[in-house]
Amino acid sequence: MSEQKPFLSILSFLGFQVNAAIEEGHGNKISFSDIYKGLEERNLFELLNEKLPGILDISLFLESNEKAHLEQRNGVLNALSDAASGMKGRERKKYGVKSSGLSLLMAYILEAIQQEYWITSS
């Protein structure tokens, strides 16, 4: 089985959610460590939901055991983990981000999109 990849629309949706949370002033409520830990332990969405309850609409990644939703959740985690690979300690130089965990997450979403780590929905 090939590695699961998310739909481009799902990555974009997550990006819009993260961008809105940053705009509302929540960017620094999540640390770089939170993002890395959430990716490593594959519980990023639960961590975001715990630290920013009601701020991000990430219910698609939390509440369903449907195969399609699990595939998208795993695909997003794979894409973000791939984007984060080798970036620890280089965030400011590579992405211009120095403290906001949500800005770092947005950078990883954009990196995944740029690297075409996605599929189109049929």
Q: What's the pLDDT score for residue 121?
A: 78
Alpha carbon dihedral 87, 16, 30, 116, in 10-degree steps, equals -20
Average pLDDT over residues 51-68: 88
Can you give the pLDDT at residue 119?
94
Q: What percent of the chain has pLDDT over 90?
A: 80
Model confidence band, residue 1 (pLDDT cutoffs 50, 70, 90): very low
Give the 3-state secondary structure of residue 119: strand
Query: Given this model, what pLDDT does residue 99 score?
Result: 92
Q: Which two tokens stand for residue 100?
A: 């906001």
Say which range, 24-38, 87-101, 102-116, has the weakest mean pLDDT: 87-101
pTM of the prediction?
0.93
What pLDDT score was predicted for residue 122? 62
Task: Please write the tens of the pLDDT for every residue from 9-57.
Answer: 999 999 999 999 999 999 999 999 999 999 999 999 999 999 999 999 9
What mean pLDDT value characterizes the chain? 93
Mean pLDDT of the 72-92 span = 94
Tokens of 72: 């998208």
Rounded to a whole number of angstroms, the distance between the first and last alpha carbons of the chain is: 19
Domain ranges for the chain, please list them.
8-114
